[in-house]
Amino acid sequence: MTLWIATLLGVVQGVFMFIPVSSTAHLVLTQHWLIGQGHVLPAPDSAEMILFDLVVHVGTLVSIAIVFWTSLVRLSVGIARQSLQWASREGTLGRELLALRLALLCALSVVATAVVGLLLKTTFERVFALPLLVVGTLTLTGILLWWTDTLGARPRGLRQITPRNAVVIGVAQGLALVPGFSRSGLTISAALLSGLKRRWAAEYSFFLAIPTILAATGVQAIEVGLNGGLGELNHGVLLTAFVVAAAVGTLALRLVLYFLYRARMKVFSFYLWALAAAVLLGVIDLG
């Protein structure tokens, strides 16, 4: 893989990580198109290419840190302080320990995601090699985004999130491992369905991405290391894509928050349906 291809894929990830149109689907479609044009890069369903996809996902975690820096610092300090408070006294984890409770709920969501991912890992990876199957998932994601705009005001704040809500959101995130299903789209939709206000649905979704993506990247890195290393990739290519994804993702995240808070996610539905039709009709040649 050349540096310009790494830059292109980093831009694709940065633009589409937070815009709820499935960055993984766009990465897979772009990779198939590049291969069809004669460029040399690993197959989209290969272990090293899936690791590349995860590395650029980690790059966009930097975007989350930049946009939500104040909230993340407040949450981290709260978790540390409240953990000490809880450890020093007897009693249950009540709502007064909000930051610690949220951390445990996020952990529960990650566990739910891991269960789905481990049970269906082989099935999910096969989709990377079959871009036409992405047509269906893109279409369903568009329908889901349209539906979220029809919802009225949500009543729940962060203090009202239950373990059941956390599991539902985690399962939705696990299903988003399938290319074409947007991680942000599915998790935000699940949070809204659970009654969370739009602001908190967004923050919970994006905060949840941090441990989930880091864990998935670590697991995939171990698998690649045990099976011969990076192959046609190298550390320079990974670093370039990482930095580009982080920079572009910061702008995309701010754009998504603008539309989400105003219940205008359906604008992305039209794009998803047009993209699915283009792939289905052969307008986009995947080689």
Q: What DSSP line would sit under 119-170, residue for residue?
A: HHHHHHHHHTT-TTHHHHHHHHHHHHHHHHHT-----B-GGG--HHHHHHHH
Tell me the pLDDT of the chain (287 aa) as tens digits. 788 999 999 999 998 888 887 777 788 888 888 888 888 888 777 777 888 888 888 898 899 899 888 888 888 888 888 777 776 765 455 556 778 888 899 999 999 998 988 887 666 666 655 667 778 888 888 998 888 888 777 788 878 888 999 999 999 988 887 777 888 889 988 999 888 988 888 888 888 888 888 887 787 777 766 666 666 677 888 899 999 999 999 998 888 888 887 777 788 889 889 988 887 887 766 55
Both tokens of 126, joined, read 């096969």
Token pair, residue 6, equals 């790494």
The model's pTM is 0.78
- Orientation angle between helical segments 69-87 and 198-226, nearest 10 degrees: 80
Give, as one character, the DSSP assignment of residue 196: B
**pLDDT one-digit tens code per residue, 247-269:** 999 998 888 888 887 777 788 88
Please, which residues have CB within 8 angstroms of residue 276's CB and are 6 or more apart in sequence?
134, 135, 136, 138, 139, 142
Does the CA dihedral 275-254-128-205 come out positive or negative? negative
79-112 burial, b at 16+ Cβ within 10 Å, e below that, comes to: beebeeebeeeeeeeeeebbbbbbbebbebbbeb
Q: What is the pLDDT of residues 37-80, one digit of tens each?
A: 888 888 777 777 888 888 888 898 899 899 888 888 888 888 88
CA dihedral angle for residue 271, residue 276, residue 278, residue 281, rounded to 10 degrees? -150
Residues 242/9, Cβ–Cβ less than 8 Å: no
